[in-house]
Amino acid sequence: MCGFVGFTNKINDANIVIGKMMDRIKHRGPDSDGKYVDENIAMGFRRLSIIDLSAGDQPIFNEDGSVVITFNGEIYNFQSLRDELIKCGHTFKTKSDTEVLVHSYEEWGPDMLGRLRGMFAFIIYDKKKNEIFGARDFFGIKPMYYGLFGDTFMWGSEIKSFLDHPAFVKELNESVLETYLTFQYSPTTETFFKNVYKLPAAHCFTYANGKLKVKRYWDVHFDPDDEPRLKDWVNRISDTFKNSVEAHKIADVEVGSFLSSGVDSSYVAAVANVDKTFTVGFGEDEKYNEIGYAKEFSKFIKKDNFSKVITPEEYWDNLAKIQYHMDEPLADPAAIALFFVCQIASEKVKVVLSGEGADEIFGGYTIYKEPTDAALYNKVPKCIRRAIGAVAEKLPAKRGLNFLVRRSRDLEERFIGNAYMFSEKERKALLKIKTDAPDAKEITKPYYDKVKDQEPATKMQYLDLNLWMTGDILLKADKMSMAHSLELRVPFLDKEVMKVAEGIPVRYRVNDENTKYAMRVAALKACPPFTANKKKLGFPVPIRVWLKEEKYYNIVKNAFLSETSKKYFNTDILVKLLDDHRANKYDYSRKIWTVFTFLIWHKVYFEDER
C-alpha cells in the first residue's frame, strides 16, 4: 500500500516540486520514496513495504527503461501472471507485483486490466509513445485523482498533494457542495476543488498530446440463476470467499483483522485465521459499543482482541485532522470511529482485513427489504399514494410520515443510496449561493438505466455499488487507514466473489427472514449462530446524543454562526435544525452533521494555512 503523485513537466524546478508533493502524502508510505523526472514528466512515490520488502521500491521500469510505473495497491494473482510473463520472454529484477504490471502492459497493453485480480491505482508512462496510461480497480478500493490546469496535467492518490504545484489553483467547487448536501459525499467525478476529478472505479485513461480519454473497462452484471439450490449457493460462496481471503493474506508482514459485531467482519476474521483483531466503541451502551461482543467472538476463534473506548473529547478533537486526511468532506460519522480502529491496529500490524463490500454485493442493507415489506401498501393505487405522500411531506417531521412520503414515489425517485440528507427543495432553501448542480435523479439515472429490467433490490444494489460504496464506504476505508500507514484489504470485494454474487437470485439475497441471506448461511460454517444472524451496527457513533449536550451543541452552533457559514447558508435554518434536535422534536443529527462536517473541512483547506 502506497501513494503516488505526478505531473506533466512544464516547470524548471520539477525535481523540487515533486519532492514537496511526495512529502504531503508521506503517511501513505513512510518506509521509502522514489521519483522519476525528465523533460516531459515528473513521477513521485511513497512506499509502505508489504511484499518484496528489500527490492520493491518504485518507480519500477521495464528491461530497457522505456516504461515506468508508480502503483498503489496489491495484485493478488501476480505470481501466476509473473510465471506467464516469464514464458513470454520477460525478465524480472524483483519479486514484486509492481513489476508484473509493467510487463503486463508491455505484453497486453490496456487489455492487461482484464487479467488482474486485486485492488489498484497506477500510472504507467510509455516513453516511446510519450503517453500516460492510468487505471483504477474494479470497485474503487484505491483512489485516483487528476487535475487539468492550463497545459499541466497532474495526478495523485490524494488531492492534497496538488497544493504544492505552482499551476494548481485552489478554488471551491460550489456545485459539488450542493450535491453533497443530498448525498453526504461528492457523488460525481467532480470534487470539491475546481478542475480536480476522480477517476471512477473500473475506469482507465490515456493522456497524450494534451488530450485525455477516459473509458470504463469492467462492470457488474447481475444475472440471477434460479437453477442451483440454496445449499449450492452457500457452498459456492463459502469456497470462493475462502479462496479470496487466502489471496488477500499474501504479505511479507503480519496481517490482522477489524472486528465489529456484524457478520461481515466476523466472517472475515474467522476464515482468515489471523492472530489479532481490533475493535472500538463508545461508552458502555451496547448500542454504541461492540467491544464486549468482539472480545467474546475473539475468544471463540482463539485470537487476541485489541480494543479502545473512544471518549467524546477524542472524537471531537480529531475532526479537523480527519477531514484533512479525507481530502473532501465526508459526513459519515463512522469515519471517525474507523480512524481510531486504524490507529490501534497500526500499533500492532501493517496490514488489516475488513468486511467492506459484503452488503452491496450480497444484498445486506435493511433498505433493500423495503420493496418487499411495503408490498401490501404498494397495492394502493399510485395516484392515492402520491396524494397521501404530498400531504405527509407538508406536515412537521415525525416518525412514520417518512414511510408515506417514500412510498408515494417510484424507486428511482426515492432511493439515491443509503444516505439521503437534504432534498433538492431543502438544499435550495438552505443555500445562499446559486449553482448549476444536477438534482439527485440526474446523477442516479445512468445507473438505473443499466438495470432497468432488474428487480428493485438489485437496482438498489447496483446503485450502491457505483455511488455509495465508492463515494463513502471505500473512501473512508482508504483515507483513514492510510492516515496511519496501514494497508486495509477487503476480501469481499474480489472479482471472483462478485461473479458468484451476480448469479444469486434475489430470494437468496433479500427475503422476509433476513438480508444477505445466502451469505449469512455460508458464514454459519465458520461462525456461531449468534454472529451469523446478528443485526449490523458497524462502529455506531452517538452523535445524536452528543448534539443535545451543552458543550457540543455550542461547538456546532458557533460553527453555524461563523462567517463561512453565513457566506454559504441561511443560518437561521441551521440553528433551527439544531434547536429542534436538542428539543427532541425530531432526530436531525445527520443533517446537522453534514453541514458541520463541511464547515470543518472548509476551515482546514480554505481558512487555515496548509
HSE-up of residue 103 (Cα within 13 Å, Cβ side): 23
Name the residues annotated as catalytic.
Answer: 2
Q: Cα–Cα distance between 310 and 342 in angstroms, integer?
A: 13
Residue 146: which residues within 8 A CB-CB, separation 6 or more?
Answer: 134, 153, 154, 155, 156, 196, 197, 199, 205, 212
Tell me 200's DSSP state: P
Residue 362: which residues within 8 A CB-CB, separation 6 or more?
Answer: 237, 492, 501, 504, 509, 516, 518, 519
Beta strands in 230-344 (DSSP E): 255-258, 276-281, 304-309
Structural contact between residues 98 and 71, judged by C-beta atoms closer than 8 angstroms? yes
> Hey, is 123 helix, strand or coil?
strand
Residues for the chain: how many in total?
610
Lookup result for grid cell 457523488: 187
Q: Cα–Cα distance between 194 and 172 in angstroms, integer?
A: 6
Q: Cα–Cα distance between 542 and 333 in angstroms, integer?
A: 9
Residue 151: which residues within 8 A CB-CB, separation 6 or more?
Answer: 8, 10, 210
Q: Cα–Cα distance between 286 and 282 in angstroms, integer?
A: 9
List alpha helices for 431-503, DSSP H.
440-450, 456-466, 468, 474-482, 495-503
Q: Cα–Cα distance between 358 and 258 in angstroms, integer?
A: 14
Cα dihedral: 351, 357, 362, 365 (round 10)? 130
Q: How many CB atoms lie within 10 A of CB 129?
A: 12
The C-alpha R_g of the chain, in whole angstroms, comes to 24
Beta strands in 217-356 (DSSP E): 255-258, 276-281, 304-309, 351-353
Q: Cα–Cα distance between 164 and 567 in angstroms, integer?
A: 27
> Hey, is 36 helix, strand or coil?
strand
Lookup result for grid cell 499551476: 167
